[in-house]
Structure 1
């Protein structure tokens, strides 16, 4: 729910920082870690949105038009 959305945003922000630092320093491992964190954060935000839509009784909670 709201916790998943919040945690997803935090994870995504950490990913952007790691990706940026990795790009600047030339550290490919950190850059890849950042990209993975961005994806994980985005997925967790989507999960929170879908759970919230399901609680609201939406017929298709995974459909973004239900937001």
Structure 2
């Protein structure tokens, strides 16, 4: 589960870099790719949190208040 969180953070960082470079250079495709990577990374981190909560036996693993 820590793997999902780690991979999510890495994907978010790649997205931030691509979005920044796309903004600076005016490359809309790279900027959009970065935004998609950021979203994918956030989703991957959430998946890791939900799996971790499920393993802990939380009744609603998708609820962030269970952290």
Same fold (TM over 0.5): yes
Instruction: Give deviations 1:3-42, integer Å, cap 9, x for gaps.
Output: 0000000000000000000000000000000000000000
Instruction: Give the TM-score, by structure 2 length.
Output: 0.99
- Taking the aligned partners of 2:47 and 2:26, their CA distance within structure 1 comes to 33
Q: CA RMSD, aligned part only? A: 0.3
Stretches of 4+ aligned residues off by more than 3 angstroms:
none
Aligned residues: 67
- What residue ranges of structure 2 are gaps of 5+ in the alignment? none
